[in-house]
Amino acid sequence: MTRFAALDLAALPDLPVLRPLDFDAVLEARLAELEAHLSDVFNPEKAASIMALARNIASSPTRYLSEAAAARELYMENRINEAVRSVFLSMARGAALDHIGAGRGVVRKVLDHSDPDAPVYEADDAFRARIQLVIEAWSPHGTEGSYVYWALDADDLVVDVAVYGPNHGIDPPIPPAEPKMVILSREGDGTASEYLLARVFQHCAADTRRPVADKLSVVSAVPVAYSIEAVLHVTSPEAASAVLAAAEASAAAFINSRIRIGRKLYRTSIAAALNVQGVVDVELISPAADLDIGPFEAAHCTDMTLSIQTITGGWRDI
């Protein structure tokens, strides 16, 4: 999309300063340090007898104290790792991400105000994407990323935005200086109401956010309905209910991740989401084919029906 939004933060490698958390390695280092100190104080036989207790007898005070010290060191290492992560946009979570957003003038959205004691806030990934995109909003030249940021900022009901211009190869072609913005709503099947479209237009049309020569138009995404029906093959009847619950949760997360404008839906991706632990095969009945989603469309799941079929896998599955 843009030079900033195109950066995949999730693909960045871990920082070298982050240390792996390995209790066994920390404990072994503690024991080696203890053995070195004992060798300086006691004769080899005495040191060896103490170390034999420390290494082999779980109830030994020396072993217990070594494990407790290793655990405390591991907790400290984890706190240091979390402190390092909290200052980077790609890794910060929760309150740490809120502070990074505040530094760029971005506040986490409240998606559901119905319960004042337990409001539903914007998820970290969506909030992180807006923080990353806000740099585009500082440009007064109507970049694609700028329009997307201000559209997302217009109303909490906006879940996705696409902006097209003459360089996007849309048919029919979009004339220069007449960008077309597509809005996907969080409510219902994703169709944006006239009120929401007007609200987004007014928010984006301010002279400080839109080039004076731009003739902006805002339209709603067109939902493309589909349903998921699948038979999950398992070998363990006892675990069928747990497998079904895990598959339903995985499928729901997949469906939520595909609430996007212009995002093609592949059968293989649906099957992969349903292939949770305990599933041997996925028999995907619906959709019968991949869904081609156009630039002004968005996939909308209307129903999900999952069933379990127990199969006999033979002695290999015992």
Local confidence pLDDT in tens for the 318 residues of the chain? 555 555 778 788 888 888 899 999 999 999 999 999 898 889 988 989 989 988 888 888 988 899 999 999 999 999 999 999 999 999 999 999 999 999 999 999 998 888 888 899 999 999 999 999 888 877 766 788 889 999 999 999 999 999 999 989 998 999 999 999 999 999 999 999 999 999 999 999 877 777 777 899 999 999 999 999 999 999 888 889 999 999 999 999 999 999 999 999 999 999 999 999 999 999 999 999 999 999 999 999 999 999 999 887 655 655
Residue 141: what pLDDT? 66
> Distance between CA 103 and CA 135 in Å, rounded?
12
Q: Check whether residue 121 and residue 183 sit in a common domain.
A: yes
Q: Check whether residue 100 and residue 201 sit in a common domain.
A: yes
Residue 107: what pLDDT? 93
Q: Check whether residue 135 and residue 63 sit in a common domain.
A: no
Residue 11 lies in a domain: no
Q: Classify residue 274 by burial, with Cβ atoms within 10 Å: 0-12, 13-18, 19+.
A: buried
Range of the domain at 283: 223-310
Q: Check whether residue 38 and residue 59 sit in a common domain.
A: yes
Q: Check whether residue 233 and residue 281 sit in a common domain.
A: yes
Q: Which two tokens stand for residue 72?
A: 């405390």
Residue 179 lies in a domain: yes
Q: Check whether residue 179 and residue 252 sit in a common domain.
A: no
Count up the domains in the chain and report the number. 3
Q: Check whether residue 208 and residue 229 sit in a common domain.
A: no
Residue 315 lies in a domain: no
- End position of a domain, from candidates 87, 107, 140: 87
- End position of a domain, from candidates 167, 199, 222: 222
Judge if pTM exceeds 0.85. no
Please count the other Cβ atoms lying within 10 Å of the Cβ belonging to residue 92.
21
What is the biggest distance separating any 2 CA atoms in the chain, rounded to whole angstroms? Answer: 89
> Distance between CA 203 and CA 157 in Å, rounded?
14
> Distance between CA 169 and CA 86 in Å, rounded?
40
Q: Check whether residue 118 and residue 75 sit in a common domain.
A: no
Contact between 235 and 317 under an 8 Å Cβ cutoff? The reply is: yes
Q: Check whether residue 107 and residue 218 sit in a common domain.
A: yes
Residue 3: what pLDDT? 52
Contact between 202 and 241 under an 8 Å Cβ cutoff? The reply is: no
Contact between 258 and 266 under an 8 Å Cβ cutoff? The reply is: no
If you compute the radius of gyration of the chain from its CA atoms, what whole number of angstroms results?
A: 28
Residue 2 lies in a domain: no
- End position of a domain, from candidates 222, 241, 264: 222
Residue 318 lies in a domain: no
Residue 54: what pLDDT? 87
Q: Check whether residue 108 and residue 181 sit in a common domain.
A: yes
Measured CA to CA in angstroms, residue 306 lies from 104, 121, 202, 225, 309 at distances of 44, 30, 43, 18, 10
Residue 272 lies in a domain: yes
Q: Check whether residue 44 and residue 55 sit in a common domain.
A: yes
Q: Check whether residue 193 and residue 141 sit in a common domain.
A: yes
Residue 181 lies in a domain: yes
Residue 8 lies in a domain: no
Residue 279's closest CA among 236, 312, 316, 318? 236
Residue 313: what pLDDT? 62
Residue 144: what pLDDT? 86
